[in-house]
A and B are shown apart, each in its own frame.
Chain A
Amino acid sequence: MIHATLKQLSQQLADKQVSAVELATEYLQRIDALNPQLNAFITVDRDKTLLEAAAADARRAAGTAGLLTGAPIAHKDIFCQQGWKTSCGSKMLDNFISPYDAHVIEQCRAAGLVTLGRANMDEFAMGSSNENSYYGAVKNPWDLNAIPGGSSGGSAAAVAARLAPVATATDTGGSIRQPASHCGVTGIKPTYGVVSRFGMVAYASSLDQGGVMAQTAEDCALMLNVIAGFDERDSTSLERAREDYSRDLAQPLAGLRVGLPREYFAEGLAADVGRIIDNAVSELKKLGAEVVEVSLPNTQLSIPAYYVIAPAEASANLSRFDGVRYGHRASEYKDLVDMYEKTRAEGFGSEVKRRIMVGTYVLSHGYYDAYYIKAQKIRRLIADDFKAAFAGCDVILGPVAPTAAFNLGEKSGDPVQMYLSDIYTLSVNLAGLPAMSVPAGFADNGRPVGLQIIGNYFGEAKMLNVAHQFQQVTDWHRKAPAL
């Protein structure tokens, strides 16, 4: 049963083959057994989970259930959830029990999804390896020596290890796609503004976007139907008619124009990853897709632009963690400034501090134009690149990361090397586009590799269609690690 997809589980629940409490109990047992080695969850609360499950069963009995009522889910520890510790992977919020629900959590509760626990993550979503969590690194279920990717490493590891059928996640510079790729699961980051950021602890507000991970594209579509939609509490949430993201899943791909950006297949891409992407493209061609070459000439600039804009926004977003109202406060201090300094020195990890310092620097008087304004101009160029590319194709395909998952500790001492591995994911966030990672094969070292599908604005249904059709003719997404 733990290998069942969300869609299958919801069918079993509807058919009364299993109850929500039984399902939750089974997943909780598996979490108990495997989480000690994987560290995918920060918080598990059996009583709370079973209470939610019992409520879901009551809804099923009362006939007020929705499609997914009773199905279990893991939530990235970045979404505020009433009554649950919402740590964001940080010591700063280790004592923070949220008094309110994020929009995404509200939507999941309304749908009757049962919270299995809170997934581990890089502190404040800053990282590409999940080694930056106050609660320790998450292990890749395919290889315990490998990183699971980040920042949504806990969500990806949980889905890959079948500790949860689906998980919420967020993506600021690749934090859904890269761990999904490294863990062999399907992940979707929607168009900026499709999922409300209300209640999502902010890292870089203009880039952050909530999304989901699951085994299949079809499950991602079901989950997107739950969490997407306008929310007046987020001014950047887009006021659009609700859509059914699974509506186009079955569409044939004949005539689909697939763009391959020259820059994504150049120097720096590992040969085995390149081969896997080529094979995936061949599969799509067999399904009737036409391949066109496109160019995204400013791809290289996405790294410096991102690592100016994201830290700049983060430096302000994280100022609220000052020890005054909630969260960590230093136990001894001699005055206000000392309290601030000690609290923040103790509460934040080194990567968070690094980005706050970079962000503070680039916004400083005299440097603002040279860094922040310039980065914004690059951002516009990158968006223009995509606009030009999409004039000739329906979706863009490429790798998610230059290599399969690297080893734990391999890059943690070299932040620049770590940043460079985000080369294929950052541009999408800078442009605000939707993108996915779909399991596409295994690298020479046996670790999973994902195919990135980038859609045009609001092209989620089209991307999901491509991913679903791909999954009809491949079985990479059905493979599970031996644990």
Chain B
Amino acid sequence: MKWEVVIGLEVHVQLNTVSKIFSGASTAFGAEPNTQASLVELALPGVLPVLNKAVVDKAIRLGLALDATINQKNVFARKNYFYPDLPKGYQISQMELPIVEHGKLNILVGDEEKTVRVTRAHMEEDAGKSLHEDFHGMTGIDLNRAGTPLLEVVSEPDMRSAEEAVAYAKALHTLVTWLGICDGNMQEGSFRVDANVSVRPFGQAEFGTRREVKNLNSFRFLEQAIKYEAQWQIETIEDGGKVQQATVLFDPDSGETRMMRSKEDAHDYRYFPDPDLLPVRISDEQIARVRGEMPELPAQMKARFVDAFGVTPYDAAVLTGSRALAGYFEAMATASAQGKLAANWLIGDVAARLNREGKDIAELPIDAERLSGLLVRIADGTLSNKLAKQVFDAMWDSGLSADVIIERDGLKQVSDVGAIEKMVEEVLAANPKAVEEFRAGKEKALNALAGQVMKASKGKANPAQVQEILKQKLA
């Protein structure tokens, strides 16, 4: 039987506010345990939550970017359960009236564009951390993370493969960092993904029973976990078993998912509106202000890059992978008037070198205007691609401009027909065997001869001209 995988994601996006969602305590990561827990996070008797308004603005930002409904009245609710790192015995979250509903996010899988519907995004507080390793026979509680603002973004079960799920997660990750509402640091838990996975025979309308894979903190784990989980469900059913609704954990070491709790063990969270907090009211003016403060969105920018700079939709998608990269590209493409070339360079050589050095686009030592000088010299034929790579590396290392390096190292491409003819003649004379082979119909011999000419020119000869002149001489 052919099976279809159905996936919906719940993503916890940590908002990058300076202080916590319901108190003035700092949200900075990595401080000594419990030094960033105020009376509110400690849940002392009598303390009360006060909403950090910056959280609402950031939620509105995401809502607008997802083309969603902003609920101008939305309500905080208490989600009740006991756990030592949940100091109040309930989490303040949103249930019936979340701030954001009915959004959508476009993803690109291969060449195919697809829209994933976003059911809702709601504001909530994070819990603290339980530390089981450091204390023999005891559990340590660190409440520094408690009260850190989160947006939980819930998608519809619109994805049909691990690849689509990863594309959605990446698109959302790009969006929240683009919007400046999340630092995107997955190692530190700023962007955590839960995947609801089910399978059904192709063509069946009803969904299968889902299992929720918790806390996937990298795109790779997300992909592995979904693939493993889907396969496990298919095998279970094909072996005559039934999938039971459950929450499972992914073990990155074994690459397997394992049961955390079954549906029978599921909590009754007894949600009810939090009487300590008034309903959040959002005015038209507030929405308009937030809209006015927003940067151009990746989807809009992508379309503009295709239109204005002639890059492919795929390249445009890569270039709008972060605001820094998109900004760099736009500056470089504009300054050089070479959109396609700029795209190729950024996605190719520049990305490769950044990757090699473990750097981010923001750390690129050559600014966009200077790098566009290199593109100009490629476009006007001064540099071959090969020379350009050499110049690029020199620019990176020295900080000098392309023109200065070309001048200093004498790297100008030779396009003088006479000079190239002379080199070609010398090479033909020195390689009678290759000439023989070419004439006998061995096309490859031409490349060998061209290579010899390039070598003789120390790489400076214009390769197109070399090919052309070789062909003339051998004709």
The chain A residues found within 8 Å of chain B, CB to CB, are 79-80, 86, 88, 93, 96, 98-100, 102, 197-202, 204-206, 232-236, 312-313, 315-316, 318-322, 324-326, 336, 340, 360, 363-365, 368, 372
- The reply to whether A324 and B84 form a contact with Cβ atoms under 8 Å apart is yes
For B47, the chain A residues whose CB sits under 8 A away are 198-199
- B45 in complex: contacting residue of A86, A232, A235, A312, CB < 8 Å: A86
Question: Using a CB-CB cutoff of 8 Å, which residues 266-283 of chain B contact chain A?
Answer: 268, 270-272, 275-278
- Are B84 and A235 touching (Cβ within 8 A)? no
* A198/B46 contact (C-beta < 8 A), A236-B276, A320-B88, A322-B89 known: yes
Complex alpha-carbon distance, A98 and B39, angstroms:
11
* B72: interface (CB < 8 Å): no
Shortest CB-to-CB span from B455 to chain A, Å, is: 74
Known pairs A322-B89, A365-B270 / 8 extra A-B pairs, C-beta < 8 Å? A98-B45, A197-B46, A233-B50, A235-B49, A235-B276, A236-B275, A315-B270, A360-B270
Residue B78 is within 8 A (CB to CB) of chain A in the complex: yes
Cβ-defined contact, A325 with B43, below 8 A: yes
Tell me which residues across on chain A come within 8 A of B141, comparing CB atoms: 324-325
Fill in one digit per residue for B57-101: 1 if any A CB lies within 8 Å of its CB, else 0.
000000000000000000000101010100111100000000000
In Å, the complex CA distance between A93 and B50 comes to 25
Whether B335 sits at the interface, judged by CB under 8 Å, is: no
Nearest A residue to B82 via CB reads: A340
Complex formed: what's the CA distance from A312 to B46 in Å?
A: 17
For A101, the closest partner residue in chain B by CB is B46
Q: A319-B80, A324-B87 are in contact. Are A199 and B270 (CB under 8 A)?
A: no
Contact B46–A201 (Cβ < 8 Å): yes
Assess whether B424 is interfacial by the CB under 8 Å rule.
no
- Which residue of chain B has its CB nearest to the CB of A207? B275
**Contact across chains for A364 and B50 when beta carbons are under 8 A apart:** no
Q: Which 6 A-B pairs have the closest CB atoms?
A: A319-B89, A206-B275, A363-B270, A205-B275, A199-B46, A201-B45
State the main secondary structure of chain B at its contact with A.
loop
A270–B141 alpha-carbon span in the complex (Å): 55
Within 8 Å CB of B272, what residues of A?
312-313, 316, 363, 368, 372
Chain B residues whose C-beta falls within 8 Å of the C-beta of A321 in the assembled complex: 45
Determine the residue in chain A with the shortest Cβ distance to B50.
A235
Q: A80-B45, A86-B45 are in contact. Are A235 and B82 (CB under 8 A)?
A: no
**In the complex, A202 Cα to B89 Cα: how many Å?**
14
User: What is the CA–CA distance of A201 and B49 in the complex, to the nearest angstrom?
Assistant: 13
Distance to closest chain A CB from B131 (angstroms): 14
Is there a chain A Cβ closer than 8 Å to B44's Cβ? yes
When A201-B45, A364-B270 are in contact, do A320 and B87 touch as well, CB less than 8 Å? yes
- Cβ-defined partner of B268 (8 Å) among A100, A205, A319, A364: A364
Shortest beta-carbon distance from A322 to chain B in Å: 6
Instruction: Check A99 against B88 for contact (C-beta < 8 Å).
Output: no
Please give the distance in Å from B48's CB to the nearest CB on chain A.
Answer: 5
Q: How far is the CB of B448 from chain A (nearest CB, A)?
A: 75
Q: List the A side residues contacting B466 at CB < 8 Å.
A: none
Contacting residues, chain B, for A236 (C-beta < 8 A): 275-276, 278
**Chain A residues near B87 (CB-CB < 8 A):** 320, 324-325
Interface residues in B25-54 by Cβ distance below 8 A to A read: 39, 42-51
**Alpha-carbon distance A27/B393, docked complex (angstroms):** 87
Residues on the B chain within 8 Å of A235, using CB: 48-51, 276-278
Q: Identify 14 residue pairs between A and B in the complex whose beta-carbon atoms are under 8 Å apart, listed by A's number.
A: A80-B44, A86-B45, A198-B47, A202-B45, A204-B275, A205-B276, A206-B275, A232-B50, A235-B49, A236-B278, A316-B89, A320-B87, A364-B268, A368-B270
Residues of B that sit less than 8 Å from A by CB = 39, 42-51, 78, 80, 82, 84, 87-90, 141, 268, 270-272, 275-278
Nearest residue in A to B277 (C-beta to C-beta)? Answer: A235
In the complex, chain A residues whose CB is within 8 Å of the CB of B49: 235
**B149 → chain A closest CB, angstroms:** 16
* Alpha-carbon distance A235/B76, docked complex (angstroms): 12
A266–chain B nearest beta-carbon distance, Å? 31
Report the Cα distance A206→B274, complex, angstroms. Answer: 9
Most buried by A among B46, B84, B88: B46
In the complex, A199→B48 CA distance in Å? 8
List A contacts of B271 (CB < 8 A): 363
B346 shortest CB reach to chain A, Å: 48
Contacts of A319 in B (CB 8 A): 80, 82, 88-90
B48 contacts A234, C-beta separation under 8 Å: yes
A322 and B268 CA atoms in complex are apart in Å by: 18
Q: Which of B43, B46, B84, B270 contacts A336 (CB 8 A)?
A: B84
Cα(A79)–Cα(B271), bound, Å = 28
Closest B residue to A197 by CB, please name it: B48
Most buried by B among A79, A360, A363, A364: A363
Q: How far is the CB of B55 from chain A (nearest CB, A)?
A: 14
Which B residues are in CB contact (< 8 Å) with A88?
45
Q: A403 to chain B: closest CB distance in Å?
A: 31
* A80 and B82 in contact, given A312-B272, A316-B89, A360-B270 (Cβ under 8 angstroms): no
In the assembled complex, how far is the CB of residue A206 from the closest CB belonging to chain B, in whole angstroms?
Answer: 4
Nearest CB in chain A to that of B49: its residue: A235
Interface residue from A202, A206, A324, A365 paired with B46 (Cβ < 8 Å): A202
Task: Determine the chain A residues whose CB is within 8 A of the CB of B48 once the complex forms.
Answer: 197-198, 202, 233-235
Nearest Cβ on chain B to A46's Cβ, whole angstroms? 25
Residue of chain A at shortest CB distance from B40: A233
Query: Which B residue's beta carbon lies closest to that of A376?
Result: B273
Whole-angstrom CA separation of A83 from B25 in the bound complex:
23
User: Which residues of the partner chain A approach B43 to less than 8 Å between Cβ atoms?
Assistant: 320, 325
Q: With A313-B275, A364-B268 given, is the CB distance from A93 to B82 under 8 Å?
A: no
How near does chain B come to A67, taking the closest CB pair, in angstroms?
A: 27
Return chain B residues, CB-CB under 8 Å to A360.
270
- Give the distance to chain B from A299, nearest Cβ to Cβ, in Å: 23
Q: Is the CB of A80 within 8 A of B90?
A: no
Q: Which residues of B contact A365 (CB under 8 A)?
A: 268, 270
The residue from A99, A201, A316, A340 contacting B39, defined by CB atoms under 8 A apart: A99
Beta-carbon nearest neighbor of A196 in chain B = B48
Q: Cα distance A88–B43 when bound, in Å?
A: 16
